[in-house]
Amino acid sequence: MSRYRGPRFKIIRRLGALPGLTSKRPRAESDLRNKPRSGKKSQYRIRLEEKQKLRFHYGLTERQLLKYVHIAGKAKGPTGQVLLQLLEMRLDNILFRLGMASTIPQARQLVNHRHILVNGRIVDIPSYRCKPQDIITARDKQKSRALIQNYLELSPHEELPKHLTLHPFQYKGLVNQIIDSKLVGLKINELLIVEYYSRQT
């Protein structure tokens, strides 16, 4: 299954706010009037929707998400928490959480177009797994810095999670530590996602 490229409002009407997918929000009831009314949801549907929230927020294909679930399952610690940590430490998500991109798709584009350095070297793989003490900067080019300056100005000025530090005037971010899974950028029940995949096998 390929990465979703359709209307983003269609997704957030169905699943709720997904800040990684789009910075826009539905406008009151006028944008929600076509939301389907349904009775009690089945347990399968509840688990499926939690999985879909995760997939669309982080901009993953089904195959990519399944791969992360398998990696998390083999790691030490609760599978759901490890899964969230793996996704949060992706380079595209780190850029988004720093405010150097307004959405994860924007962050992915910055990386793909070689605007980003990690520890002084160009990294053009959005799924690059950041580690503690990694230094993330804009490439020393006018276009790269102009793009990131624009995103920094547009991004909501929320308090950064403590695993990150931003130096906006230097177009630089620092990864201080592995994120605490309680500080992920999405309200999600990771146990339901683990249950969803455990029941598929």
User: 33 pLDDT band (50/70/90 cuts)?
Assistant: very low
Is pLDDT above 70 for 11?
no
Is pLDDT above 70 for 29?
no
The answer to whether 47 and 196 have CB atoms below 8 angstroms apart is yes
| Greatest mean pLDDT range, 11-15, 45-49, 91-95 | 91-95
Is pLDDT above 50 for 201?
yes
Q: Which tens digits make up the pLDDT trace of 163-181?
A: 999 999 999 999 999 998 7
- The topology (CATH level 3) of 90-178 is 3.10.290
Average pLDDT of the residues of the chain: 84
pLDDT (0 to 100) of residue 30: 43
Entry pTM: 0.84
Helical packing angle, 43-58 and 190-198, nearest 10°: 110
Residue 172 CA to residue 34 CA, distance in Å, equals: 42
More confident residue, 158 or 72: 72
Q: Which of 150, 147, 178, 176 is nearest to 164 (CA)?
A: 176
Determine the CATH number of domain 8-86+186-198: 1.10.1050.10
Lowest mean pLDDT among 7-11, 26-30, 55-59, 180-184: 26-30
The type of residue at 63 is R
More confident residue, 37 or 94: 94
Q: Which tens digits make up the pLDDT trace of 120-149?
A: 999 999 999 999 999 999 998 899 999 999
Domain boundaries, the chain: 8-86+186-198, 90-178
Q: What is the enclosing helix (H) or strand (E) of 116?
A: strand 116-118
The arithmetic mean of pLDDT across residues 77-88, rounded, is 94
